[in-house]
């Protein structure tokens, strides 16, 4: 009984970790990691680095743009609110 409960708890933790990974983007901006909630469960763009990428190429990724990477870039000081608004207007 005790061993069965341990296995159940271990599986519950593994499933919860898997769900967390499937439902969040892990965005690396410079040496800093930010977590961004995904709009749907997927493995696409789970880990994403902005290093060496232009702001336009980052914002051209539909999933990331829809999930709010622009706000993270503003918070990190990579772009201004006005630049974000212009990029979002362009991508509509």
69 in Cβ contact with 36 (< 8 Å): yes
pLDDT band at 51 (very low <50, low <70, confident <90, very high): very high
Task: Give the pair of three-digit tokens for residue 69.
Answer: 């990477």
- The 8 Å CB, 24+ separation contacts for 58-63 are 59/87, 59/88, 59/91, 60/91, 63/38, 63/39
Tens digits of per-residue pLDDT, 20-36? Answer: 999 999 999 989 999 99
Q: What is the pLDDT of residue 38?
A: 97
Sheet holding 47-49, edge to edge: 32-37, 24-29, 47-49
What residue segments make up the domains of the chain, in order of their start?
Answer: 2-90
pTM: 0.84
pLDDT band at 88 (very low <50, low <70, confident <90, very high): confident
């Amino acid at each position: 009984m005790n061993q069965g409960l341990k296995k159940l708890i271990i599986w519950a933790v593994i499933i919860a970790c898997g769900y967390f990974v499937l439902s969040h983007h892990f965005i690396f901006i410079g040496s800093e990691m930010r977590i961004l909630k995904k709009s749907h469960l997927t493995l696409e763009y789970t880990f994403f680095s902005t290093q060496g990428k232009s702001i336009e190429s980052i914002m051209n990724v539909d999933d990331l743009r829809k999930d709010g990477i622009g706000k993270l870039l503003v918070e990190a000081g990579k772009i201004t609110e006005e630049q974000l608004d212009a990029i979002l207007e362009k991508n509509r």
